[in-house]
Amino acid sequence: MEGKIVLVTAVSGGIGQAIFKGVAPAARGVVTSSRGGKEAFWKDGGWPRNATHVAGDMTREADVEGLFKHALALHGRLDVAVNCVGGSMFGHRIEDFPADEFDQVVATNLRSAFLFTKHAIRAMKGNGEAGGNIVHVVSISAKKIAANKAPYGIAKAGLAKLVHYAAHEAADYGVLVNGISPGYVFTPRHETEIDEKAARTGKPRARVADGLVSGQLLKKHLLPADLLDAVRLLSTTRVMTGQIINVDYGEVLSY
């Protein structure tokens, strides 16, 4: 990542913020985005001097286009774009899932990714032989069933196919498109959900948490920072494109 211009979305969330913190020290410049200003989520102090933040809704094309135009206007180029927008948001069986909630889930996880990819390719296509790298955070829910989360799994499966189509088209410009599929990531928001489930069911908190990793070969909690190795690889590779790496302590075994 040394000397690169990097764009990272959803930095108010656990995954996006961990990736931002991980790549910022080496990057020449970083542009971040979330729905609100950085004051709403940045509590650590010491905002990186090489970073600028743009508030925007990544399901709105005008906001996405504005984000990429800001990056180009400020830095003259864009080398790496990492899309961390997503969330399951609601939980119902298909027969009970309100259509408007379905639309929200698909917009958040798939429409936003489509718009992100579209404008990332446009921003990078002028880089010549240097090309660029686009990285999406997908999910193992694209490959396995998550109870009461059908729209989320459907949208993430669509995102996985978007990676393939985008890799095929962006190859004309030397732009590589890949993704990571995490398992259950113990973000602050998910930790709160575990507390709530433990209180609701009367089960010990440790038992609830253990259940979430029971399908993994390695029974460890996957933390946001644990995704960094794979993100760095896909942000710098010049030989991999159209690939989605499982980052899940061995929960999904596949080629």
Residue 137: its H or E element: strand 132-137
Residue 185 near residue 224, CB atoms below 8 Å = yes
CA separation (Å) from 76 to 43, 73, 151? Answer: 30, 6, 38
pLDDT averaged over consecutive 10-residue blocks of the chain (255 residues)?
A: 95 96 96 95 89 98 98 98 96 97 98 98 96 98 95 98 98 98 93 91 93 95 97 98 97 89
Q: Which of 108, 82, 104, 80 is nearest to 92 (CA)?
A: 104
pLDDT score recorded for residue 37: 94
CA separation (Å) from 27 to 7, 53, 75? Answer: 10, 15, 12
pLDDT score recorded for residue 43: 83
Give pTM, 2 decimals: 0.95
